[in-house]
Amino acid sequence: MIYLSHQQLQQIQRHAEMVYPEECCGLLLGTLERDNKRVIEVRETENSWTGDINENLPHFPSSNQQPLSKKNRFSIDPYTLLQVQKEVRDRRLNMIGIYHSHPDHPAVPSPFDREIAWPDYSYIIVSLKEGKFTEIRSWKLEENQSFQEEIIQIVA
């Protein structure tokens, strides 16, 4: 289960709507409490996807046959990840997940999402239809490389 406040969910939703038709992305910083994660901060990041990234990953064509771009792929700059990891360690927090949007597609992990996912992280996906929020779901990659849906619990 992952715990987020209403304000944190709204922040993710606004970020997704703001960068539409491209995918947004960001980090979820928080604490681990047994199998539960509590989000303390949503950290918006830039989608740093470039065609060069695709050369180092298996090719997964997009479902709508668009060329691979920020409209159907996301990447978080490794330098940003390193800086945030150092910061959260100093704050006695953890990087507990990543969020991104699926413009005009369901909030379900794609084959590309599975390829770049790390076990134990939460993956929140926001679905938008014509630029408007429609759905938000969270997923966790299991050891058998399948995604299992994770309950999002809204807290005060």
Domain parsing of the chain, residue ranges? 2-155
Least confident of 25-29, 64-68, 136-140: 64-68
Specify the pLDDT at position 69.
92
Specify the pLDDT at position 56.
59
Specify the pLDDT at position 60.
54
CATH code, residues 2-155: 3.40.140.10
Rg (CA), the chain: 15
Q: Is the pTM of this model over 0.85?
A: yes
**CA 148 – CA 109 distance, rounded (Å):** 10
**CA 66 – CA 119 distance, rounded (Å):** 29
Instruction: For strands 94-103 and 132-141, give the pairing.
Output: unpaired
Mean pLDDT taken over the chain: 92
Per-residue pLDDT of 36-92, as tens digits, reads 999 999 999 999 998 776 665 555 554 456 688 999 999 999 999 999 999 999 999
Specify the pLDDT at position 68.
87
